[in-house]
């Protein structure tokens, strides 16, 4: 009987961890997406790079915890897109900036999709 109680407790802890992680990843991705959507459509070569740097710093702050369950390849792609976006804003390349901004939004949504709560992620 003790073994059953211990196994049930471990199962509850694992399920709680999976659910907590899914909410953490989703919340972080939503916050990053909201920050990216707040960037101007037409870059300001002075102000926009500062805003992008703040988003990069936030990603770097969350990357160690995100990297536990989210593949680093996705985190790296988001980081690379932010670097490219920063370069486009500094050079005032509006076309490339717009394309990279759209790509960045898709990559952040992909980051969020990796940790949806499904039966597969629970088991």
Q: Which of 6, 123, 111, 2 is nearest to 62 (CA)?
A: 111
What average pLDDT does the segment 77-106 reach?
Answer: 93
Structural contact between residues 121 and 41, judged by C-beta atoms closer than 8 angstroms: no
Summarised one tens digit per residue, pLDDT across range 2-56 is 888 998 899 999 888 888 888 999 999 999 999 999 999 888 888 999 999 999 9
Backbone angles phi, psi at 68, to 5 degrees: -65, -40
What's the chain's Rg over C-alpha atoms? 18
Tokens of 103: 């790509």
Q: Which pLDDT score, from 0 to 100, does residue 76 have?
A: 94
Beta-strand ranges (E) seen in 1-123 are none
């Amino acid at each position: 009987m003790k073994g059953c109680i211990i196994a049930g407790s471990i199962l509850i802890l694992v399920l709680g961890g999976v659910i907590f992680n899914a909410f953490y990843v989703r919340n972080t991705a939503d916050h990053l997406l909201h920050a990216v959507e707040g960037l101007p459509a037409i870059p300001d070569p002075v102000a926009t790079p500062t805003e992008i740097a703040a988003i990069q710093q936030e990603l770097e702050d969350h990357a160690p915890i995100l990297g536990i369950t989210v593949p680093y390849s996705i985190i790296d792609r988001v980081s690379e897109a932010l670097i490219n976006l920063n370069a486009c804003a500094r050079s005032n390349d509006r076309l490339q900036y717009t394309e990279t901004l759209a790509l960045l939004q898709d990559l952040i949504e992909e980051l969020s999709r990796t940790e949806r709560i499904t039966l597969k992620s629970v088991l």
